């Protein structure tokens, strides 16, 4: 098996993988509507073979398997051993999972009808090279479909907690907009440029907005508390507070609680999410 990039292995096989695995059910609920919209755009058909890139714990892989049926096949790839283990625990039927990096994995040439990803393509160190490599595994006329985040300022799972603490902690340095990370595909023009460079044609990039659940609980107050805990465990807030003392963390928790309390929802805090749904074809 080809080894993924070292910096991602150390992250996703360590603390990030642990946090995502422990929050798997809540995170999948948050991302569900985006995955369903991307699958609708991908239009998987009975009997097709699908590669699910950055499959996580397999939620999108299982939906794809339902669409391709018993005569189809889905292979889910991810670089997190914790998430692949969880996917195998949950999985059944026409889904295989492998611990590997789709950017460099040994993929059979022209083996797939569809390359799919639910928020799994924004972390490649060299995305043009990664898409070029993956396109070789796609049949002539085969399809690419993925969903990726738009800008951080458009997504409440970042905007709300980080905005809430701006008077408590200085903001972190602005990342390179093209550096590997969740918002590296926020610029649609960059996404199109990368796919053209990788040899794809028929590229379409459409905005998709949704109100999504963040956290959960039997009551509104419990849901808000759970949303705060989730923000502390996953995402930029967890990194911002990593080296802070308990006094600062408590002040931040109070501020983030107030920000989430301003949002609607009874059993989850309902927040705004903004993504791109991207489709393209392999001309051969």
Helix, strand, coil: what percent of the chain each, to 5? Answer: 40, 20, 35
Q: HSE-up of 272 (CA within 13 Å, CB side)? A: 14
Q: Which residues, in sequence order, are CB contacts of 102 under 8 Å at separation 6+?
A: 51, 53, 54, 77, 120, 130, 133, 134
What digits encode the pLDDT tens for the residues 19-38?
777 778 899 999 999 999 99
What radius of gyration, in Å, describes the C-alpha atoms of the chain? 19
CATH class of 15-282: alpha beta
Tens-binned pLDDT, residue by residue, of the chain (284 aa): 333 343 355 565 556 666 777 778 899 999 999 999 999 999 999 999 999 999 999 999 999 999 999 999 999 999 999 999 999 988 766 689 999 999 999 999 999 999 999 999 999 999 999 999 999 999 999 999 999 999 999 999 999 999 999 999 988 887 788 888 999 999 999 999 999 999 999 999 999 999 999 999 999 999 999 999 999 998 899 989 988 999 999 999 999 999 999 999 999 999 999 999 999 999 98
Buried b (16+ CB within 10 A) or exposed e, 148-182: bbbebebbbbbbbbbebbeebbeeeeeeeeeebbb
């Amino acid at each position: 098996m080809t080894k993924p990039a070292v910096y991602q292995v150390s992250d996703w096989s360590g603390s990030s993988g642990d946090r995502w695995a422990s929050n798997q059910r809540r995170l999948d609920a948050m991302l569900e509507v985006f995955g369903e919209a991307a699958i609708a755009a991908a239009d998987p058909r009975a009997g097709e073979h699908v590669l699910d890139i950055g499959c996580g714990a397999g939620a999108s892989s299982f939906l794809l398997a339902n669409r391709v049926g018993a005569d189809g096949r889905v292979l889910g790839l991810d670089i997190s051993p914790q998430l692949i283990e969880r996917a195998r625990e949950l999985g059944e039927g026409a889904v295989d999972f492998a611990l590997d990096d789709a950017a460099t994995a040994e993929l059979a040439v022209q083996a797939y009808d569809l390359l799919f990803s639910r928020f799994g393509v924004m972390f490649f160190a060299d995305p043009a090279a990664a898409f070029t490599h993956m396109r070789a595994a796609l049949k002539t006329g085969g399809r690419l479909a993925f969903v990726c985040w738009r800008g951080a300022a458009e997504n409440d799972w970042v905007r709300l907690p980080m905005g809430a603490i701006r008077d408590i902690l200085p903001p972190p340095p602005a990342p390179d907009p093209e550096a590997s990370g969740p918002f590296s595909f926020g610029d649609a023009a960059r996404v199109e440029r990368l796919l053209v460079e990788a040899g794809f044609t028929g590229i379409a990039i459409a905005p998709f907005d949704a109100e999504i659940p963040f956290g959960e609980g039997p009551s509104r107050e419990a849901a808000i508390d759970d949303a705060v805990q989730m923000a502390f465990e996953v995402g930029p807030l967890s990194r911002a507070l990593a080296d802070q003392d308990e006094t600062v963390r408590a002040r931040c928790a109070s501020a983030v609680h107030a920000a989430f309390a301003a949002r609607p929802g009874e059993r989850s805090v309902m927040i705004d999410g903004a993504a791109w749904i991207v489709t393209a074809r392999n001309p051969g």
